[in-house]
Amino acid sequence: MARRRGRNVHGVLTLDKPSGVTSNDALQRVKRLYGAARAGHTGSLDKLATGLLPLCLGEATKLSSYLLEADKSYVVEAHFGVVTTTGDADGEILPRPDASAPLPDLAALERVLPSFRGTIEQVPPMYSALKYQGRRLHELAREGIEVKREPRQVRIDHLESLELKGDKFRFRMDCSKGTYVRTLVADLGEKLGCGASVSSLRRVRSGPFLEEHMVELAHLEELVRTAPGPYPLDPLLLPPDRVLENYPELVLDEDLVYYITQGQPVQVPRAPAEGLLRLYEGDRRFLGVGEILGDGRVAPRRLLRLPRPGTEVDVPGATGG
């Protein structure tokens, strides 16, 4: 009998990703620390960036796409007068479009910031993970190849000045999925005439998860070294249904659970009229995501196989994948 690689552990870790570490590297480190059989992140942060990187373990990985679709919030520092190949401090410095353009003051910023609020169009940067003819744009960019990119609509719900100190401008933004902060900063610098790039970026919200939920990677590593017990990190995991806490919930009786888990839509009294919702068994065990059909029935959309409390048994000596 083949030995299982990793253990079945389910939940969401709201990691505070450190700067200089890629999102995938952070994921792999956490996966090893937990000895988890499965893990995935919910939308990468640039290597330079810090902050909230929700990581899904086990059955929670089935919900990753819902966080990819979620709104995000960032605290950003823009460096005026500095333009780079990548749009941030990791890139090579390029000549300024107009070296004689003055650096903006707060009055100039307040005149242009309203044009970046609401629904706006962005051209995705070449240094991004978007694909063109099967290849990532950042791979092409590193080969000196630039391709035409079509503008996309994104939504900036909130854009607030925090501090302007010399050539550095700090601000907070709440935005829709698919928003490129580096592009927003570059467009801001272009509109002001001085050019700009991102000097620091910190994500402080991803869907329902907030900055105060974050756990540092160094804290995880310290707990593994010093805490008693076989699984000292498990209490830091949030339950998978927290991903969907902004969706309405619906508790099903035993008969309805049977049909839902067989993939069949069911009629549920007092169900919401439309949209997605969280499904629970009568004992409050989370089942997954359902959706209201046009005829009012509830259909399963993404079901999880979570163990009942106290029923899961780990394989002694199993190693992380």
pLDDT tens string 165-202 = 999 999 999 999 999 999 999 999 999 999 999 999 99
Looking at the structure of the chain, the number of domains it has is 2
The whole-number pLDDT of residue 20 equals 94
Answer whether residue 229 is part of any domain. no
CATH assignment of the domain containing 257: 2.30.130.10
- One domain for residues 198 and 278: no
- What mean pLDDT is reported for the chain? 91
Task: Please state at what angle helix 23-34 crosses helix 217-226, rounded to 10 degrees.
Answer: 20
pLDDT at 239 over 60: yes
- One domain for residues 156 and 271: no
Question: pTM for the full model?
Answer: 0.90
Relative to beta strand 11-17, strand 215-216 is: parallel
Answer whether residue 280 is part of any domain. yes
Considering 16, 25, 46, 253, which one is annotated as catalytic? 46
Answer whether residue 186 is part of any domain. yes
Please, what is the end-to-end C-alpha distance for the chain in angstroms? 18
Within 13 A of 271's CA, how many CA atoms are on the CB side?
27
- Does residue 5 sit in helix, strand or coil? strand
Answer whether residue 217 is part of any domain. no
Answer whether residue 12 is part of any domain. no
Give the integer Cα–Cα distance in Å for 227 and 316.
Answer: 19
- One domain for residues 271 and 172: no
Our CA angle for 84, 85, 88, nearest 5°, is: 55
Answer whether residue 226 is part of any domain. no
CB atoms within 10 A of CB 24: 11
- One domain for residues 199 and 256: no
Give the integer Cα–Cα distance in Å for 67 and 65.
Answer: 5
Answer whether residue 213 is part of any domain. no
The whole-number pLDDT of residue 321 equals 31
**Domain containing residue 109:** 72-206
pLDDT at 100 over 90: no
CATH assignment of the domain containing 144: 3.30.2350.10
- One domain for residues 270 and 198: no
- One domain for residues 195 and 91: yes
105 catalytic? Reply is no
Residues 272, 41: contact at Cβ < 8 Å?
no
- One domain for residues 202 and 265: no
- One domain for residues 135 and 189: yes
Answer whether residue 42 is part of any domain. no
